[in-house]
Amino acid sequence: MCRVVDLRQAVLAKNDVAAQVLRTELTARGTTVVNLLSSPGSGKTALLERELLLARERGVAVAALTADLATENDAVRLARSGVPVKQVLTDGLCHLEAAMLGRHLDGWLPEDTRLLFVENVGNLVCPAGYDLGESLRVVLASVTEGEDKPLKYPTAFGLAQLVVVTKTDIARAVEFDEAAFRANVEQVNPGVEVVLTSARAGDGLGVLLDRALAAGSGAGTHTPVMARQQHGHGHGHGHGHEHDHDHDHERDHDHGHDEGGHDHEHEHPHVHTVAQTR
């Protein structure tokens, strides 16, 4: 068990270095990364599609990269917005990592991109511990998932700089208790903003885009208490983990990574870029 813990810490430390390098490079070229985390079926893709359309209407140079275990369905949907979209199939890997993201952006991301939305793999455990070089980390939860979601996944919600509630058009039908949800969010992440949205009805549309643009312009973002307590990372993301998947990390990472993580694609043959959809 000690070996697994040490290995995990080494992997996360290496990822943090790669994330900071990527953040510095993208910031220098004027690109802000927004990391979107949620459970499967949260409505993340539907909301992102609306936000991409709005960004295009406003003349904001925006792109999106979406990661899934299989299928290019989300990329096809997002490409309807008319912005550059890239699909990454992880073929079993439950999260993106900074070095992996950097490789997929190399040679693809347009130079004038102001905002890059990264739709992470759909789960709230694995991705929570991995900084992707983002300037804004957003966690989404639908009204159908239960008010106790923040308590069940305290790391994902505890490190969020913005919490978005989706599918509010059916909140009454599923008896969503907004006050209880907000109280639970406040318990794990005091002071974080909670935004209510409905991609179908258009409620709250544009708030995510506005917050992303504000983060890119240097406006202060929320610093979670959890991030301040753990490691004091300058980018505001600590590494508390629910890790109920010790075996996944040993399987996925015990491959003697080279310095800088540039051979990661060879060490994980099941991780590959599939297609760029425009």
Q: How confident is the model over 164-216, as pLDDT tens digits?
A: 999 999 999 999 999 999 999 999 999 999 999 999 999 999 999 999 999 99
Q: What is the DSSP letter of 49?
A: H
Give pLDDT tens digits for 140-163. 999 999 999 999 999 999 999 999
- In degrees, to the nearest 5, what angle opens at C-alpha 118 toward C-alphas 115 and 120? 165
Residue 230: half-sphere exposure toward Cβ, Cα within 13 Å: 18
Distances, alpha carbon 105 to alpha carbons 64, 109, 199, in Å: 10, 5, 27
pLDDT class of 257 with cuts at 50, 70, 90: very low
Partners of 89 in the β-ladder: 68, 272
Separation between Cα atoms, residue 240 and residue 158, nearest integer Å: 9
Q: Is 81 left (phi over 0), alpha (psi -120 to 50) or beta?
A: alpha
Partners of 36 in the β-ladder: 119, 138
| pTM for the structure as a whole | 0.82
Q: Average pLDDT over the chain, rounded to whole?
A: 85
User: How long, in residues, is the chain?
Assistant: 278
Tell whether the model's pLDDT for residue 120 goes beyond 60: yes
pLDDT at residue 29, as a whole number: 96
Between 276 and 143, residue with greater pLDDT: 143
Give pLDDT tens digits for 65-112. 999 988 999 999 999 999 999 999 987 789 999 999 999 999 999 999
- Please state the rounded mean pLDDT for residues 28-52: 97
Q: Which of 191, 190, 139 is nearest to 162 (CA)?
A: 139
Token digits of residue 49: 């599609």
Tell whether the model's pLDDT for residue 251 goes beyond 70: no
pLDDT class of 9 with cuts at 50, 70, 90: confident
Separation between Cα atoms, residue 242 and residue 125, nearest integer Å: 6
pLDDT at residue 247, as a whole number: 36
Amino acid residing at 231: H
Separation between Cα atoms, residue 52 and residue 14, nearest integer Å: 32
Contacts of 59 (CB under 8 A, 6+ apart): none
Tell whether the model's pLDDT for residue 7 goes beyond 70: no
Whether the Cβ atoms of residue 26 and residue 106 lie closer than 8 Å to each other: no
Q: Which of 117, 165, 122, 123 is nearest to 137 (CA)?
A: 117
